[in-house]
């Protein structure tokens, strides 16, 4: 198999794009896809200060590398969830990569805030593990972004993540989630930082190939508590369709953006929004879910974070 662009040996065939690419052209392809998304959807500008949510996995580490390579000011944030074995290993990967990248990594240990790991907190919230994890991480990422003066929070959600999430939300007509489904969520000064997904239209397979070729040392294991999650089932279904009809996932997601009018920043509802009296985060009552949870499990607790800087 030859690279369609240079005739060298191809390392991957991308059926959705009708392309076979060598290692160097695969790297350029992924980086160009990210660059095009940044420009087309106005994700951020050169003078923005970016915080990348880092998990130790291929997506977030690859995204951090690409943004730094493009010349953006980008630091990382890792949230240690207190999952035995898994969290320590993923933190090691994140720290090693930050050192290799000569970057800055903020680290938050959930147990230092709540005295509990994510599994116990999910039970306390009476939510599924993934639901509790997502809600808590979104809060912490937003809080630190605002406190440290970052103008944009970037996550490594890829095409497969977003397509499976969209399918699940459509199957159950979760309108609140569908309204928030976008490649960029705008900021609300003092309350919410701008959130972007530069890998929104880049597939998991493309990113995995990018990480391997770039020799990024990432954690291969999936979160042990994600087994049985519906999103994994939706991914499997979409992969089966994709195998028969290449490009389905990309067209599915791009079609949603086009038909929902979300080609730029999401327009939030105009109805009045309440904000937490303790932290200014959006809330349904006097306090947001995070401050209410903290009050229940560790009243004297507060968000603390550690800085690991390898800047030169």
In angstroms, the Cα distances linking 304 to 79, 80, 94 are 11, 12, 18
In angstroms, the Cα distances linking 60 to 52, 72, 150, 216, 232 are 7, 15, 17, 11, 19
- Has residue 264 got a pLDDT over 50? no
- What is the set of domains in the chain, with CATH numbers? 44-264+300-309 (3.40.50.620)
- Has residue 165 got a pLDDT over 80? yes
Both structure tokens of 143: 């809080």
pLDDT tens-digit map of 189-219: 999 999 999 999 999 999 999 999 999 999 9
C-alpha 79/C-alpha 107 separation (Å) is 6
- What number of other Cβ atoms are within 10 A of residue 277's Cβ? 12
Both structure tokens of 292: 């209410």
pLDDT tens-digit map of 49-79: 999 999 999 999 999 999 999 999 999 999 9
pLDDT tens-digit map of 20-40: 999 999 999 999 999 999 999
pLDDT tens-digit map of 126-139: 998 999 999 999 99
pLDDT of residue 262: 56
For residues 213-247, one letter each, b for 16 or more C-beta atoms within 10 angstroms of the residue's C-beta and e for the rest, the string is: bbebebbeeebebeeebeeeebbeebbeebeeebe
Q: Is the pTM higher than 0.85?
A: yes
Both structure tokens of 55: 């998990």
């Amino acid at each position: 198999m030859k690279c369609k662009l240079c005739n060298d040996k191809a390392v991957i065939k991308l059926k959705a794009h009708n392309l076979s690419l060598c290692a160097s052209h695969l790297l350029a392809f992924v980086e160009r896809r990210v660059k095009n998304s940044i420009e087309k959807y106005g994700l951020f500008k050169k003078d923005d200060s970016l915080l990348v949510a880092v998990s130790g996995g291929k997506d977030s580490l690859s995204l951090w590398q690409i943004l730094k390579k493009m010349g953006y000011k980008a630091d990382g944030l890792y949230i240690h969830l207190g999952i035995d074995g898994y969290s320590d290993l993923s933190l090691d990967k994140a720290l090693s990569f930050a050192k290799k990248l000569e970057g800055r990594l903020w680290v938050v240990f959930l147990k230092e805030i709540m005295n509990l790991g994510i599994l116990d907190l999910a039970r306390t919230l009476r939510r599924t593990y993934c639901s509790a994890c997502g809600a808590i991480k979104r809060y912490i990422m937003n809080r630190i972004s605002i406190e440290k003066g970052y103008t944009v929070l970037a996550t490594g959600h890829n095409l497969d993540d977003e397509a499976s999430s969209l399918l699940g939300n459509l199957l159950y007509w979760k309108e609140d989630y569908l309204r928030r489904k976008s490649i960029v969520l705008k900021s609300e000064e003092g309350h919410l930082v701008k959130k972007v997904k530069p890998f929104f239209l880049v597939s998991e397979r493309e990113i995995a190939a990018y990480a391997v070729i770039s020799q990024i040392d990432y954690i291969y294991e999936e979160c042990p508590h994600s087994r049985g999650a519906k999103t994994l089932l939706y991914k499997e279904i979409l992969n089966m369709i994709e195998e028969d009809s290449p490009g389905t996932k990309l067209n599915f997601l791009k079609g949603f953006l086009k038909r929902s009018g979300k080609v730029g920043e999401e327009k939030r509802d105009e109805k009045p929004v309440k904000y937490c009296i303790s932290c200014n985060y959006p809330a349904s009552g006097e306090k947001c879910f995070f401050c209410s949870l903290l009050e229940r499990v560790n009243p004297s607790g507060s968000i603390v974070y550690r800085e690991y800087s390898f800047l030169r």
